[in-house]
């Protein structure tokens, strides 16, 4: 199976008339571009499977098609091995500060409710599961095998992860997004779009809530509001402890994702600094979890 090269993007068959391509900075998993032709603009992403991160492009494609069908994400215009082309959404990419604003947090809750309730009816074919504690264990094995600088810290991190997994307890399954960075929300001036389904798969709904809170530094009060709003005022009795455990796990997973990327990614990005930043966030959240345990 051949994969599209960057130099071949302007030869994609759906393009009409002379076309121009410009790179989009900031991607740390894929290479992204804006392509313009006679009919408009498109978002083009190049990326192959990354098994060590659980990124499988067949899964990303099916999730993207389902999300577009439900109106959560832009339409998939074209796809082929190693490339996916989406309608270009003209708008503002959110920041963590935006997500902390109730004017954004409320519609984000609605997006998550729709994702969790309806994606399972729209996704076709085989689907992945994203269990953060499996991901953490697998990352640790990869780091050990590949002689990571972080090997001395792994036993302690795995012990904490096991404690968090026990604290989460039994879970319900929904089809989740699982990568709720602020940059994966776009405001077009009329509505919000949820993009980038690389890590999509079946998971506990608590992970998306915790991941949103962890990635965007929501306050304790905002996190409590988020959970109450998501569960329509009927949050399960055990939810607070489970959510706090998932929030820690989300930060630990992001840290270990970066540790693995330090070794294996070819993207020009300071992964060592990103590891340090996320480990600091994990340490803060772990301390808060233990204090309230």
Give me the sheet containing 185-187, strands edge to edge: 92-93, 185-187, 192-194
Q: What is the CATH number of the domain that holds 54?
A: 3.30.200.20
Choose the final residue of a domain: 69, 87, 105.
87
292 has pLDDT over 90: no
- Name the band, by pLDDT with cuts 50, 70 and 90, for residue 28: low
In contact, 241 and 223? CB cutoff 8 Å: no
CB-based contacts of 139: which residues, under 8 Å, 6+ apart?
52, 253, 256, 257, 259, 260
Pairing of strands 83-87, 40-46: antiparallel
Q: Residue 1: inside a domain, yes or no? A: no
pTM exceeds cut of 0.75: yes
∠ CA 32-35-37 to the nearest 5 degrees? 170
Check whether residue 114 and residue 226 sit in a common domain: yes
What is each CA distance from 58 to 47, 148, 219, in whole angstroms?
11, 30, 36
Check whether residue 31 and residue 131 sit in a common domain: no
Choose the final residue of a domain: 87, 103, 135.
87
As a dihedral over the C-alpha atoms of residue 189, residue 193, residue 196, residue 197, rounded to 10 degrees, the angle is 180
| Interatomic CA distance for residues 35 and 212, integer angstroms | 30
Domain span at residue 260? Answer: 92-292
Which long-range CB contacts under 8 A does 5-8 form with residues at least 24 apart? Answer: 6/31, 6/33, 6/46
The mean pLDDT of the chain is 93
pLDDT one-digit tens code per residue, 69-120: 999 999 999 999 889 999 999 999 999 999 999 999 999 999 999 999 999 9
């Amino acid at each position: 199976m051949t994969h599209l090269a960057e130099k071949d993007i302007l030869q994609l068959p759906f393009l009409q008339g002379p076309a121009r391509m410009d790179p989009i900075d900031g991607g740390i998993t894929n290479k992204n571009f804006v392509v313009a032709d006679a009919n408009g603009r498109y978002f083009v992403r190049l990326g192959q499977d990354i098994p060590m991160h659980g990124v499988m492009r067949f899964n990303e494609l099916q999730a993207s098609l389902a999300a577009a069908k439900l109106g959560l994400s832009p339409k998939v215009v074209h796809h082929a091995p190693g490339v996916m082309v989406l309608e270009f959404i003209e708008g503002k990419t959110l920041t963590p500060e935006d997500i902390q604003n109730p004017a954004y947090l409320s519609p984000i809750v609605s997006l998550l409710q729709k994702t969790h309730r309806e994606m399972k009816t729209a996704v076709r074919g085989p689907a992945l599961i994203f269990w953060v504690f499996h991901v953490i264990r697998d990352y640790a094995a990869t780091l050990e095998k590949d002689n990571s600088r972080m090997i001395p810290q792994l036993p302690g991190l795995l012990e904490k992860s096991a404690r968090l997994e026990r604290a989460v307890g039994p879970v319900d399954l929904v089809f989740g997004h699982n990568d709720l960075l602020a940059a994966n929300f776009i405001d077009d001036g009329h509505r919000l779009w949820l993009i980038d389904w690389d890590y999509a798969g079946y998971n506990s709904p608590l992970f998306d809530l915790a991941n949103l809170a962890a990635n965007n530094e929501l306050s304790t009060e905002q996190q409590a509001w988020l959970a109450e709003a998501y569960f329509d005022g009927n949050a399960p009795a055990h939810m607070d402890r489970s959510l706090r455990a998932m929030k820690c796990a989300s930060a630990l997973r992001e840290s270990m994702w970066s540790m693995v990327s330090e070794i294996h990614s070819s993207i020009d990005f300071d992964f060592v600094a990103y590891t340090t930043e996320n480990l600091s966030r994990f340490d803060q959240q772990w301390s808060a979890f233990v204090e309230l345990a």
